Structure 1
Amino acid sequence: MPELPEVEALARHLREHAAGREVARVDVASLSVLKTTDPLHTALHGRAVTGAGRFGKHLDLDCDGLHLVVHLARAGWLRWSDALPSAPPKPGRGPIALRVHLGGPGFDLTEAGTQKRLAAWVVRDPAEVPGVAKLGPDALEISEPGFAEVLAGRTERIKTVLTDQSRLAGVGNAYSDEVLHRARLSPFATAGRLDEPAVRRLHAALREVLEDAVRRSEHQDAARLKAEKRSGLRVHGRTGLPCPVCGDLVREVSFADRSLQYCPTCQTGGRPLADRRMSRLLK
């Protein structure tokens, strides 16, 4: 799933390549992708792109006061092309959900797999998008005291709080694993029970991981962002491989539709976490 650093990089790419261009046409290839009908997507036609930004993991294309807001979900992506085909994509065929023509160049919003969760809204104000309206403070901007307030009194696992967009905007499954590894904290630790040094360490790790990922994504075109993300990960997606810090094997806990990765030596005092898929408790 694209998270804060990748969406930030996509916004920068659009600011560099789309700003100043006029929206010639928007083709909708998947009827489920558009979540709004007023304004219609055709209201974007003829409008100049005046900016691009990010709200958490939502991408925002500002078209002279009308906004195309996109949530790429788990398997969505933006594919830029310097020369789009003039013929519209065929509805229901292939991964393309929506295509934006910018007078020659443009981009496709694509989604792999059968679970269609990619979503787009055409709105006058990004706050009209429900997911944007309920976002918590941005993970790149939150101060240490503000971060401590987010955690205070929470009874959930810290992994859950880090990925709850209404608490903290922009962090998903992958970067939360990386942040917790760098902070040397168990993903199962209770958020509200962390002591002050742990909160300070976690906030520092949050900034370091995200800022490093944003830096690595700078000047990368959209096609290379996924590979760049994978290259910088220490534990996420690396089950069974050695931890680059201590050499212990990276372990995994699986849930119904996702998994988390961690290093026992760095994060849990050497003790593997329970994985109910495998057993009630690993000793």
Structure 2
Amino acid sequence: MPELPEVSGLQAFLGTHLRGATLERIQITSFAVLKTADPPYTELQGHHVEDVRRHGKFLDLDFGGLHFIFHLAKAGWLRYTDKPSAAPLRPGSGPIAARLAFDLPSAGDGPAAAGFDLTEAGSKKSLAIYVVRDPREVPGIASLGPDPLSAGFTRDVFDHILAASQQIKGLLRSQQVVAGIGNAYSDEILHAAKISPFAIAKTLDDSSRDRLYAAIGEVLSEAVAAAAGKPPEQLKDSKRNTMRVHGRAGQPCPVCGDTIREVSFADTALQYCPGCQTQGKILADRRTSRFLK
């Protein structure tokens, strides 16, 4: 799933390439992804892109009073091209959920057009598109917690968040608590902070809170920097290459050399280093027991 750093990369890329462009054509082939009806999505045609913004994991193309907002969810992605096809898409004919084509401002020898497809793999569809007059009309945006890279994400704000009687892994992933962090970067942040994913937030001591607050800023800032300037087709590999524990079960920890372990759940999994995070204890699936004995 794209998280804050990858969405930031997409935001920067689309802003650079589409700011000032005029939407010439929009097709939506999967109406299940379109979550709004008023204004109609066709009303966007003929408007130009004034800005591209990020709200947590949501991307927002601002057309000046109208917003095309999308959330890529677990298996969605964006495919950009400077040679958009004019051929009509057939509903339900493949992984493409929407296609947008733009006329670009005159740029000498540069491309005169551009576009992108929003795609989604697999049978479980959760990619979402909204056309609204105000981003706050999108329920997921209206309920977002603070952005962890914003000036408003202070240590006092973070201490208030940590008052919860909740496992820290789940707390970091809750978009209503902190915007933009998902499964992968919560694993990376907890590893950098040397904290167990099963630790209860309100029980963390001051030293652990200091490490965790610092790790959030450092891990996300480094990942955003790594994503900057990369086209969409390179962002997934860039993300994988920056991971120290996430997706690396069975490999040695790059910090202490212990074997990275995994805890699997019904539809997801987490990875962690026992040597760095749990004093050598091996976590078991929470459905059976807390630790393997």
SS at match of 1:94: coil
Alignment of 1:1-283 (within 5 A): 1-103=1-103, 104-141=113-150, 142-152=153-163, 154-275=164-285, 281-283=291-293
**1:123-179 deviation line (CA, Å, top 9, x unaligned):** 000000000000000111211221111111x11100010000000001000000000
Length, aligned pairs only: 282
SS at match of 1:271: coil
| Partners of 1:18 and 1:179 in 2: CA distance | 33
| Partners of 1:21 and 1:94 in 2: CA distance | 27
Q: What is the alpha-carbon root mean square deviation over aligned residues?
A: 1.2
SS at match of 1:98: strand
SS at match of 1:84: coil
Which runs of no fewer than 5 residues in structure 1 stay unpaired? none
User: Aligned partner of 2:243: which letter?
Assistant: L
Alpha-carbon contact 1:140-1:211 (below 8 Å) kept: yes
| Partners of 1:138 and 1:116 in 2: CA distance | 26
Identity of aligned residues (%): 55
Superposed displacement of residue 89, structure 1: 2.0
TM-score, length-scaled by structure 1: 0.97
| Partners of 2:253 and 2:43 in 1: CA distance | 51
Alpha-carbon contact 1:254-1:277 (below 8 Å) kept: no
User: Aligned partner of 1:31: which letter?
Assistant: F
**CA 1:46–1:220: 2 relative to 1, 3 Å:** same
**CA 1:251–1:277: 2 relative to 1, 3 Å:** farther
TM-score, length-scaled by structure 2: 0.94
**1:31-53 deviation line (CA, Å, top 9, x unaligned):** 11100000000010000000001
Which runs of no fewer than 5 residues in structure 2 stay unpaired? 104-112
| Partners of 1:32 and 1:38 in 2: CA distance | 15
Superposed displacement of residue 280, structure 1: 7.3
